[in-house]
Structure 1
Amino acid sequence: MTQSKMEQYFKENSDKNNLFQQEKISRYLDLRKLYNKLNKSIKADGAVISVENGKQKFVKVNPAVSEKEKLNTQLLNLEKELYSSIEMSKIKARKSVHKTPPKEDKGGLV
């Protein structure tokens, strides 16, 4: 199975040892899949659907539309959290690289 560009980004830029970050990434990717399924459903059935209830027939907004809106809000919030978390990990990694003491050969008397 091919990875999406998002999955590749997370794989390349996230901290593999940060369990909370990995859990958020997993949740984010699951929500994106669900969001895409809702999108396909709306495209297939339309934004407005006909409902029959016995002899009554009426038109209403597809429930997938409101669910998609809710998911969009959750995705945006998770994106902000993940982006800041990944950026903080990158900053910490850069700082730790700069703090390593230089190796110095202390030559002995020969």
Structure 2
Amino acid sequence: MKIDGNELAILQNELDQQGKKQEAWKIKQEFLQQVREAGDHCPCPEACPHHGNCFECVTLHRGHRDHLPMCMWDMVNERLAALSHMTEGTLRAYEDRKAAEAAGNRAEDPE
């Protein structure tokens, strides 16, 4: 089952934004039912005890705030890529420049 960019979830969101709350609720329930029936839909390759249990996984990630669950990476990267285009896609060059500067500072540090 395709969860990311799911047509039912997109429709539900559009209906909700249009104020069609009851229709949106029905579509939401249909989408969630399909997710439950699909079984394991977790894209994470880690064999952790929380695999496939979104509630536990997301709660733990929110708790430690170190990084995002793998299932959210594509969505965040998609948005970051779009933001990067505001500077003509120069994010990679910026990161490379900052890494080189940091490496240069470490090389000059007499410790």
TM over 0.5: no
The TM-score normalised by the length of structure 1 is 0.32
Structure with the bigger percentage of strand:
1
Identify the structure with bigger relative contact order (alpha carbons < 8 Å, sequence gap 6+).
1
Pair member with larger Rg? 1
